[in-house]
Amino acid sequence: MSIVSSAVSQYHYVASDAVVIGRQHVRNGIATLRTEKSQGEITVTLPILPVLQRTLDAGPIGELTFICGQRGKPFKKESFGTAFKEACVAAGLHNRSAHGCRKIGATRAAEEGASVAQLNAIFGWNGTAMASLYTQAAIAGPQPKNPDKNKNFDGAAERTRTSTGCPASTSS
């Protein structure tokens, strides 16, 4: 499993979405993907932050997907979870999972000033309950490291519903 897989999984996707996202989903520094969990009805949009872009640039990444197995082929969602867990154990990080990366991603985004609408757009949540948990915790905890706190999340506040299950495909 490449270094990119850990960076992308920190980038908020559930495994079913993490294994399909690739350059075809990124345009003007914004990744757009219709989520499998919503049967393609929810489109998430999120900025490719500088740390992720540096990781992608360093590679290796697959031809169609950012996350790839040792032979450069895309993972199936089930095998990605297993490979992620094995990589964590090999690194001495026990009791870790790809889903835990999603939780830390939401925490970090809220701590950096992402609004409820922005968190909903990034994570594909409906309503305000889930995003509010993270924003309220961020308000109670440490202040954002970024004084221009919403800057990193520009373009992430719009979500769209679609009637197809096909992943959004845009060119970079």
Query: Is the CB of residue 68 less than 8 Å from the CB of residue 74?
Result: yes
Question: Which residue has better confidence, 86 or 72?
Answer: 86
Q: Radius of gyration over alpha carbons of the chain, in Å?
A: 15
Residue 170 binned pLDDT confidence (cut-offs 50, 70, 90): very low
Q: What pLDDT was estimated at residue 142?
A: 57
Q: What percent of the chain has pLDDT over 70?
A: 73
Q: What pLDDT was estimated at residue 151?
A: 56
The tokens for 92 are: 């001495």
Number of Cβ within a 10 Å radius of residue 128:
13
Query: Is the CB of residue 170 less than 8 Å from the CB of residue 45?
Result: no
Using CB atoms within 10 Å of the CB of residue 19, give its burial: 0 to 12 exposed, 13 to 18 middle, 19+ buried. buried
Using CB atoms within 10 Å of the CB of residue 13, give its burial: 0 to 12 exposed, 13 to 18 middle, 19+ buried. buried
Assigned CATH for 3-157: 1.10.443.10
Over residues 98-106, mean pLDDT: 81
Over residues 131-152, mean pLDDT: 71
Low-confidence winner among 40-49, 68-77, 140-149 (lowest mean pLDDT): 140-149
**C-alpha distance from residue 147 to each of 24, 30, 42, 54 (Å):** 32, 22, 31, 22
Q: What pLDDT was estimated at residue 72?
A: 81
Q: Is it the case that residue 37 has pLDDT exceeding 80?
A: no
Over residues 78-102, mean pLDDT: 86
User: What does the alpha-carbon distance between residue 87 and residue 92 come to, in Å, rounded to a whole number?
Assistant: 9
The tokens for 89 are: 């154990």
Q: What pLDDT was estimated at residue 58?
A: 92
Question: Which residue has better confidence, 78 or 67?
Answer: 67
Residue 143 binned pLDDT confidence (cut-offs 50, 70, 90): low
| Extents of the domains making up the chain | 3-157
Q: What pLDDT was estimated at residue 27?
A: 94
User: What does the alpha-carbon distance between residue 123 and residue 76 come to, in Å, rounded to a whole number?
Assistant: 21
Question: Which residue has better confidence, 14 or 21?
Answer: 21
User: What does the alpha-carbon distance between residue 32 and residue 109 come to, in Å, rounded to a whole number?
Assistant: 17
pTM above 0.85, yes or no: no
Q: Starting from the edge strand earliest in sequence, which strands make up the sheet with 160-161, in order?
A: 26-27, 30-34, 42-47, 160-161
DSSP state, 117?
H
Question: Which residue has better confidence, 172 or 128?
Answer: 128
